[in-house]
Amino acid sequence: MKKRILLAVVLQFFLVLNSCSSDSGNDSVPTPEPPVVEVKTPKITSYSKNSGETGETISIYGENFSDKVNDITVAFDGVAATVISAKAGEVTFKLPATEKVLPKLIVTVGGKEVANEVKNNYEGNIGILPARSLQNWVVQENTFKRDGASSSIQMVNDKTLYMGGVLKTTDGGISWTQWAEGSAFHATANDEGWSSTLGSNKLNKVKVGGSMGTETFANIENTTEAYYAIYVDANMKDGTVVTQKGRVFSTTNGVDFKKSYELGDDTANLFQSTKIDNNHIWVIGYKSVKNKDGFIGDRPFILFKNNTTDGWKEYPFVNEAAGYFAREICFVDNENGFLLINHYYQTLLDVKLFKTTNGGDSWTQVYNGEMFSKFTFKDADSGWAVLGNKIYKTTNGGTSWALDYTHDENIGNISYKNNVVWAFSKNKIIKRYL
């Protein structure tokens, strides 16, 4: 009996063991989940500089770049830059030579374009100027598409320039902004100043940084004539303006103007000027003048102030034939200046260049040859002049000139400041670094 009970227990044990083994064989082993791979999208967040010259090294900063140079391309309007180094957060390269001064920038990593989150004045791009040269003229795109032939120019340095209109660039001509309205103007070192609106003949105060909504001076006697000579000190208090008819107004508080000088009649037409400071201003054009034989006619004329004591003076060119007007004037310092005169109806007929060494008290003709339209001087000896699409150079104070550069368009204007010459055609800006 006991043996039967033991056998039944052993049998039952094996049945249970077999059942468990069968059940475990039916259980499926879980398949491990594949690891989650996080895809990090590259993006550009900033630049080391927003502009530079061809060959200059620039860095792009951002996230998730490759550390392999061959994985990255940097291109400007399709022109590839030379990538120097690459890290996850920085790509360094050299700016290439481009046709446009503000080309479209595209960066790719692994063949895919990188998102650009940069917000600057160039719509996220990088401006490129041609590399400067001390041997040759350098040509770049003119983005405002005017040659400036009828504009006055005020240069500040190699990057900042104001042009009648009035436009301003602070980046070497990559971009231009509207600083104020008017053809005659003067900007101070603080980027404020005065401008004159033609047509309305108003004198406007321009705020720091420029403004289209300029403040118009109300307490000035003249309301009928345009202002073609404007100067104001950096303090925005001491200043002088001269009208087309030769009426001079001055202020010492930047608010109240008084008449400082007035020509004896209304036969003058003054339309161009140059100034060094509030005591050295020259305004040119023409005026009805008697010559040595008593014949009256419109002749070159200068209204000027060249020191602190003598006040305003007049210089009529009584020996010139009627119909010849003063067109361009340039002073390199308080004493040395140059003047271009030509015929009113035939502006390229018998152009004459005069020079002064005493601030304009006397003038001597130094040249009568090429029919120059514009000129600029570095000092009493070195200067440049424009004739059509050509730039000529003098090294002896205007006595002789030699061809220095030939362009593919007519050149409208030229100016010098701080060892760089700027010349303008409709589509190009031409520069000479000294």
Instruction: State the CATH number of the domain containing residue 69.
Output: 2.60.40.10
Determine, yes or no, domain membership for 166. no
- Say what the pLDDT of residue 35 is: 64
Determine, yes or no, domain membership for 402. no
Counted residue by residue, the chain has a size of 434
Determine, yes or no, domain membership for 304. no
Determine, yes or no, domain membership for 397. no
In this structure, are residues 249 and 239 in contact, taking their beta carbons and an 8 Å threshold?
A: no
Both tokens of residue 376? 């600029």
Pure H helices in 232-336: none
- Say what the pLDDT of residue 352 is: 94
Averages of pLDDT over each 10 residues, the chain, 434 residues: 43 45 53 63 97 98 96 98 97 98 97 97 97 97 94 95 94 96 92 85 90 79 89 97 96 95 94 97 96 89 97 96 93 98 72 97 94 95 97 98 97 97 98 97
In this structure, are residues 236 and 228 in contact, taking their beta carbons and an 8 Å threshold?
A: no
Q: Which domain holds residue 69?
A: 43-129
- Say what the pLDDT of residue 326 is: 96
| Residue 379 to residue 402: CA distance in whole angstroms | 17
Both tokens of residue 80? 């590839």
Name residue 154's beta-bridge partners: 162
* DSSP state for residue 70 in the 8-state scheme: G
**DSSP percent split of the chain into helix, strand, coil, nearest 5:** 5, 45, 50
Determine, yes or no, domain membership for 413. no
**Helix (H/G/I), strand (E/B), else coil: 422:** strand
- Say what the pLDDT of residue 29 is: 65
Name residue 257's beta-bridge partners: none
Dihedral angle sign, alpha carbons of residues 199, 201, 202, 208 = positive
Best CA proximity match to 221, nearest among 256, 254, 195, 191: 256
**Helix (H/G/I), strand (E/B), else coil: 71:** helix
Determine, yes or no, domain membership for 432. no
- Say what the pLDDT of residue 373 is: 92
Both tokens of residue 240? 């002088």
Domain count, the chain: 1
- Say what the pLDDT of residue 219 is: 84
| Residue 212 to residue 177: CA distance in whole angstroms | 11
Both tokens of residue 286? 């023409």
Both tokens of residue 176? 């231009």
- Say what the pLDDT of residue 347 is: 55
- Say what the pLDDT of residue 181 is: 87
Both tokens of residue 317? 């060119």
Both tokens of residue 315? 């210089």
Best CA proximity match to 169, nearest among 363, 422, 409, 376: 422
Q: Distances in Å between the alpha carbon of 36 and those of 33, 88, 292?
A: 9, 21, 99
pTM comes to: 0.88
